[in-house]
Amino acid sequence: MVNLEEIKKEAKNILEEGKVKYIIGYAKSSNALMAAPTFVKKPEDIDKLIWDPTCFQNLVKFLLDEKRKKAREKEPDIRPVGIFVKGCDSRAINVLLQEKFITREDVYIIGLSCEDLGVLDEKKIFKKLKGEEPEKIEFDQRKNIVISTKEKTIKIPLKEILAERCLECTSSFPVISDVFWGDRNNRSPKEPFKSLEQIESLSQEKKWDFWQQQLSKCIRCYACRSVCPMCYCDECVVDSINLAITADTTAEEKSQKIKWIEKSPESSENFGYHLVRAMHLAGRCIDCSECERVCPVDIPLRLLNKKLEKVAKELFDYKAGLDPEQPSLVSSFKDEDPEDFIR
């Protein structure tokens, strides 16, 4: 069992000892269903830390900001940053280590197992509430969630409102950590790719209709990219203007930026953007589903990334973020990789 008091004690210790610069964790927010990221810098602030199924955000994204900040500072504080990670988040750290974007010394990983549960899917709860605003929530024996609105109080079994990714999760505990709470039981969901089945069973044209309908909604706000811990390039290949301009960038370099994808939210460009994004996340996406959660127009982005996760697993026996020492999915191969699609 994950014991919040023990976590707080550890947090207090490492802050007092100056072992970490600060701790990125979760705290209550004005939205009862969602814990907010919090940065605890002083030992006396540790009481705001929480740990429950509302902690669905992937805090690893903040490590990217930390790295950039450190790069700008003249005499940066090189102590590690403490960070709360769930199983999925820990795989994100592994991918960042694998890609050498951060080093192991940059982080002090406070690993928290989701055990037999997972985190909430806000959208599922909103559906159950039929438009009512939740004011207060409580968890009852890790089995139910008790939600109070102005009108009433309802009790919903947790399993019904867990995020899809938690229902399909195969390793609900951090695979890398400095301190760890909870169990390390591997889960073996019967259908780890169940959410893909519906689309996969469609005819070619119906598949197209589905994605056409979904992706035509895209307004190219790039929220998916902004929230993604894997999207850390200074300049994204799909942008048609240079962002990574330095003092040395020549006019020639600026003019050479290739417009692979136009910014306008037209169908072809939207497909272009999302296809490139899916390819670039193949073997890297760790299924935190943050892209889908933050999408303002509710595109089921997770289903794109999950598809390539499945392909990687089934064709190449590859799963992202398990081992920072292994080469990436697309920077490795096996002699026996399938080639029945090749003539």
Partner 1 sequence: MAEEFEPKIIAFLCKWCSSAGSDLAGVSRMKYPPNVVPITVMCSGSVSPLYIFNAFQKGADGVLVSGCHPGDCHYIKGNFYARRRIALVKELIEYIGLEPQRFKMSWVSAAEGKKYTKIIQDFVQELKPLGPQKKLRREK
Partner 2 sequence: MKKRTGVFVCHCGINIAGTVDVKNVAEELMKHSDVTHSEDYVYMCSDPGQKLIENSIKEHNLDSVVVACCSPNLHETTFRNCAKAGGINEFQCEIANIREQCSWVHKDKLKATEKAIKITRSTVEHVVKNKSLEPISIPVTRRGLVIGGGIAGIQAALDMANSGYEVILVEKSPSIGGHMIQLSETFPTLDCSQCILTPKMVDVSKHPKIKLLTYSEVQEITGYVGNFKAKILKKPTYVDPDKCTLCDKCVDVCPIVVPNEFDIGLTGRKAIYIPFPQAIPATYTLDIVNCPGLLPIACGKCIDVCEPGAIDYDMKPEIIEEEIGSIVLATGYDLYDKENMKEYGYGKYADVLDGLQFERLLSASGPTMGEVLRPSDHKVPKEVVFIQCVGSRDPELHCAYCSKICCMYTAKHAMLYKHHVPDGQAYIFYIDIRSGGKDYEEFVQRAKEEDGVVYLRGKVSKIFEENGKITVWGADTLAGKDIEINADMVVLATAMRPTKGAEEFAKKLKVSLDKDGFLSEAHPKLRPVESVTSGLFFAGAAQAPKDIPEAVAQASGAAAKAIIILSQDHLFHSPIVAEVSLNLCTGCGMCVDVCPYDALSLKDNKAEVNEVLCEGCGTCSATCLRAAIEVKNITPGQIYEMIDASVGG
Contact criterion met (CB below 8 Å) for 150 and 135:
yes
Is residue 194 near partner 1 by the rule CB under 8 A?
no
Question: Rounded to the nearest whole angstrom, what is the least distance from the CB of residue 335 to partner 1 in the complex?
Answer: 8
Question: Rounded to the nearest whole angstrom, what is the least distance from the CB of residue 99 to partner 2 in the complex?
Answer: 4
Name residue 149's beta-bridge partners.
134
Which residue, among 132, 199, 139, has the nearest Cα to 4 in the 3D structure?
139
Is residue 230 near partner 1 by the rule CB under 8 A?
no
Select 201 or 251, whichever has its Cβ closest to partner 2. Answer: 251
Can you read off the two tokens belonging to residue 114? Answer: 């989701």
Contact criterion met (CB below 8 Å) for 256 and 233:
no
Is residue 256 near partner 1 by the rule CB under 8 A?
no
Q: Which does 249 bind (CB under 5 to 8 A by kind): partner 1, partner 2, none?
A: partner 2
Interacting residue with partner 1 among 50, 120, 166, 329 (CB under 8 A): 329
How far apart CA 343 and CA 325 sit, in angstroms, is 34
Is residue 292 near partner 1 by the rule CB under 8 A?
no
Interacting residue with partner 1 among 268, 296, 297, 298 (CB under 8 A): 268
Q: At what angle do helices 267-281 and 204-215 cross, to 10 degrees?
A: 100
Q: Which does 256 bind (CB under 5 to 8 A by kind): partner 1, partner 2, none?
A: partner 2
The order of strands in the sheet holding 179-181 is 36-40, 23-27, 81-85, 107-112, 179-181
How far apart CA 323 and CA 95 sit, in angstroms, is 8
Select 74 or 343, whichever has its Cβ closest to partner 1. Answer: 343
Instruction: Count CB atoms within 10 A of the CB of residue 156.
Output: 17
Say what the alpha-carbon torsion angle 54, 143, 49, 175 is, to the nearest 10 degrees. -80
Question: Rounded to the nearest whole angstrom, what is the least distance from the CB of residue 118 to partner 2 in the complex?
Answer: 29
Is residue 24 near partner 1 by the rule CB under 8 A?
no
Select 201 or 342, whichever has its Cβ closest to partner 2. Answer: 342
* Residues at the contact surface with partner 1, assessed by CB under 8 A: 199-200, 204-212, 237, 260, 262, 266-269, 271-272, 275-276, 278-279, 282, 304, 307-308, 311-312, 315-316, 329-333, 335, 337-339, 341-343
